Structure 1
Amino acid sequence: MPTTIVLVRHGETDWNRENRFQGHADTRLNDAGRAQARALARELEPESFAAIYSSPLLRAYETATILAERRTLPVERMNALLEVDVGSWSGLTRVEVDARFPEGYSRWLEFGHGWEDGETYEELGERVVSGLLQLAEAHPRGSVLAVTHGGPIRSALAAAEGVPFDEARRSIHVVGNCAVVRLAVRNGELERVD
């Protein structure tokens, strides 16, 4: 029997609403994001988990804490679940990025790598997949809840679907705030469940 990993994207932040690149910026949930997390906690209530993990960034950790409120499990922070590091684009809107980094922004719009600093999509994908496989090793045949960000979820889906990490933005759509994606880890490979 495989390990099931239930990936959850964090609830909404003001920067989500403002369409700002967040990356490693430590933004908090807004009221809508906390309401999304409470609604998801009710939805996930019938499920049992062997463990709950979270990106250390506040928006994910706050979401995970809300999801864990009625459970006896602690929330464990895991760096592998961090969002992609967008470097100098962090905190900027698309209009601001286009004004400051027009060549990089054009590449990014064409699904290439835009920022000059920070992390590549390949680095993100390798980090995320390695972390998810570690979770599966730690919890064989169990179900694990992992609260993370849009970039890591896309990378995990890319691995499960056999899509190169740098192509994931082109073929795998963004998941919404507090969206759930279920994966299985079988024989060291990620598989999509839902």
Structure 2
Amino acid sequence: MSDGGSGDFHLAGSGGDAHGSEETKNGHAVECTGVSSALPRPIRSASVPRLLLIRHGESEWNAVGRWQGQADPPLSERGLQQAEAAARMLGTFESVTASPLRRAADTAVIIAAELGVGPVPTDPDLMERDAGPWQGLTRDEIEAGWPGHLDSGTRPEGYEDDVALMGRVGAGLGRVVARTESEALVVTHGGVIYALEKACGEPWTRIANLAGRWIEWLDGGLALGPRIEPITDGTVPDLL
């Protein structure tokens, strides 16, 4: 694989054991194989750059079930508390980078302040998938306007496809890797993490706010590590 700073992005291997191998559980990257769990950070040598991609805290649109895409609603009060709680659980990172959308950037600033790192650079290539005409709509509104599309996986014109999304996300992650010696935190979006997992043959499973996925950048491409969930529903008081 070429230098990470070039933005080249390859996926090493395909699919794999959905339960993960002992190597993955111990923190040694397995090509496009992952574990979904709430384990603490795996122990490994620092010779390969590792990134933890996490989803932002709950936004005001998350709270009411609106598709966000690249719209820019702020964090809800619950989302602010989620970010503060996660910051105390995440451990240390040499840097924090974020999508420029407020729900991600504000989450990142809260975490970086707790970790004592900063400033927090933002990269537009790490933004959420563009949802086109579905942006701002609820599932019921989408179903009314595009009957059957959600169940069939059909997407409307203007909805960013996987090729375009992975191209820009790969470029953004490559830039993070180019300036990372050991481990960096990237605050991004559910759609970005889902797309990476899909490209590695992982089945779709919902990722909660502030949950995330480890990845390693290998000579042969990207390797998925485990999912992590630093906070649970019981960690943050119910504000509703």
Provide TM-score, normalisation by structure 1: 0.86
The equivalent position to 2:195 in structure 1, one of 127, 132, 155, is 155
Question: Quick one: distance in 2 between partners of 1:101 and 1:111?
Answer: 11
Corresponding residue number in structure 1 for 2:207? 175
Helix, strand or coil at the partner of 2:68: coil
Whether the aligned pair in 1 keeps the contact of 2:143 and 2:149 (CA below 8 Å) is: no
Whether the aligned pair in 2 keeps the contact of 1:52 and 1:145 (CA below 8 Å) is: yes
The equivalent position to 1:57 in structure 2, one of 83, 87, 101, is 101
Whether the aligned pair in 2 keeps the contact of 1:56 and 1:78 (CA below 8 Å) is: yes
Percent of paired sites with the same residue: 35
Question: Quick one: distance in 2 between partners of 1:128 and 1:90?
Answer: 20
Question: Quick one: distance in 2 between partners of 1:52 and 1:9?
Answer: 13
Helix, strand or coil at the partner of 1:182: strand
Residues 1-150 of structure 1 correspond to what in structure 2 (within 5 A)?
A: 1-44=47-90, 46-47=91-92, 49-70=93-114, 71-102=116-147, 106-112=148-154, 114-139=155-180, 141-150=181-190
Cα RMSD for the two superposed structures: 1.6
Question: Quick one: distance in 2 between partners of 1:177 and 1:67?
Answer: 14
Question: Quick one: distance in 2 between partners of 1:144 and 1:86?
Answer: 28
Amino acid at match of 1:185: W
Whether the aligned pair in 2 keeps the contact of 1:4 and 1:183 (CA below 8 Å) is: yes
Q: CA deviation at 1:20?
A: 1.0
Larger displacement relative to structure 2 (56-65 or 182-191): 182-191
Question: Quick one: distance in 1 between partners of 2:168 and 2:96?
Answer: 18
* Alpha-carbon displacement from aligned partner over 1:94-125 (angstroms, at most 9, x marks no partner): 111111222xxx2332234x121141122112
Corresponding residue number in structure 1 for 2:23? none
Q: Which runs of 5+ in 2 are unaligned?
A: 1-46, 227-240
Question: Quick one: distance in 2 between partners of 1:21 and 1:188?
Answer: 35
Where is the helix percentage greater, Structure 1 or Structure 2?
Answer: 1
Question: Quick one: distance in 1 between partners of 2:166 and 2:205?
Answer: 16
Question: Quick one: distance in 1 between partners of 2:73 and 2:134?
Answer: 15
Q: Which has the larger radius of gyration?
A: 2
Helix, strand or coil at the partner of 2:121: strand
* Alpha-carbon displacement from aligned partner over 1:5-42 (angstroms, at most 9, x marks no partner): 01110000121122211001101111111111001000
Whether the aligned pair in 1 keeps the contact of 2:72 and 2:103 (CA below 8 Å) is: yes
Aligned residues: 179
Whether the aligned pair in 2 keeps the contact of 1:53 and 1:147 (CA below 8 Å) is: yes
Amino acid at match of 1:62: D
